[in-house]
Amino acid sequence: MTVEDATRTNTAPFAVPRKGFRAKVARLDGRTVGIGGYYVDGPRMVVFLELAPQARRYPIALFKALRHGMREASVLGLSLQAGLDESVPGAIRLLEHLGFERVAKGVWACHSPA
């Protein structure tokens, strides 16, 4: 698996914010299998991550890439928030390891990135 900067052309088949996002994509055998990044929404920074099933075989690489992105995003001094499908196996555990806390159903916040 390789990780590269996201562009409008290499993010398919994943949904991305319409404007102003920074992200990395995970590519496996020439196909994009995951995307993770952030965008500013008013006074908060929203973190997003979406993975195809085959990308879940690389949890350590994904964790490191997400943590790196969070550090990069935190230099702007905004709080980090993440929306979460809590039915995805391991999703809650991942956010907890990254320092997020649940603030509402499906909404998590992190005030001091890992």
> pLDDT by residue for the chain (114 residues), tens digit each?
888 888 888 887 887 777 788 888 888 898 898 888 888 888 777 778 888 888 878 777 777 777 777 777 777 777 778 888 888 878 888 888 888 999 998 888 887 655
Dist. CA 95–CA 93, nearest whole Å: 6
- Domain 2-110: which CATH number of 3.40.630.30, 3.40.190.10, 3.30.470.10, 3.30.70.20: 3.40.630.30
Dist. CA 84–CA 31, nearest whole Å: 24
DSSP 53: G
- Residue 103: its pLDDT value, please? 92
- Residue 39: its pLDDT value, please? 83
- Residue 112: its pLDDT value, please? 65
